[in-house]
Amino acid sequence: MTKKIHDRTSTVDRNTNETEIKVNVNLDGSGKHSITTGLPFFDHMIQQLSKHSLIDIDIKCNGDLEIDSHHTMEDVGWALGKAINEALGDKKGIKRYSFSYLPMDECLTRCCIDISGRPWLVWNVFLPNVTIKYIETEIFKEFFQSFSQSAEITLHIENIYGQNTHHIIESCFKSMAVSLRSAIQLDFRNLENVPSTKGTLTGNK
Ligand SMILES: [Mn+2]
pLDDT at 5: 59
Across residues 174-200, what is the average pLDDT?
93
Across residues 61-77, what is the average pLDDT?
96
Whole-number Å distance, alpha carbon 80 to ligand 1 midpoint, is: 21
Whole-number Å distance, alpha carbon 16 to ligand 1 midpoint, is: 30
Whole-number Å distance, alpha carbon 137 to ligand 1 midpoint, is: 15
Whole-number Å distance, alpha carbon 167 to ligand 1 midpoint, is: 7
Distance separating alpha carbons of residues 47 and 44, to the nearest angstrom: 5
Whole-number Å distance, alpha carbon 52 to ligand 1 midpoint, is: 13
pLDDT at 1: 43
What the chain holds in terms of domains, given with CATH numbers, is 9-183 (3.30.230.40)
Question: What's the pTM?
Answer: 0.95
Whole-number Å distance, alpha carbon 171 to ligand 1 midpoint, is: 9
The predicted-structure confidence for 121-149, as pLDDT tens digits, reads as follows 999 999 999 999 989 999 999 999 999 99
pLDDT at 3: 47
Whole-number Å distance, alpha carbon 68 to ligand 1 midpoint, is: 22
The predicted-structure confidence for 77-128, as pLDDT tens digits, reads as follows 999 999 999 999 999 999 999 999 999 999 999 999 999 999 999 999 999 9
Whole-number Å distance, alpha carbon 181 to ligand 1 midpoint, is: 20
Whole-number Å distance, alpha carbon 175 to ligand 1 midpoint, is: 13
pLDDT at 6: 76
Whole-number Å distance, alpha carbon 169 to ligand 1 midpoint, is: 9
Question: Residue 4 above 60 pLDDT?
Answer: no
Whole-number Å distance, alpha carbon 50 to ligand 1 midpoint, is: 14
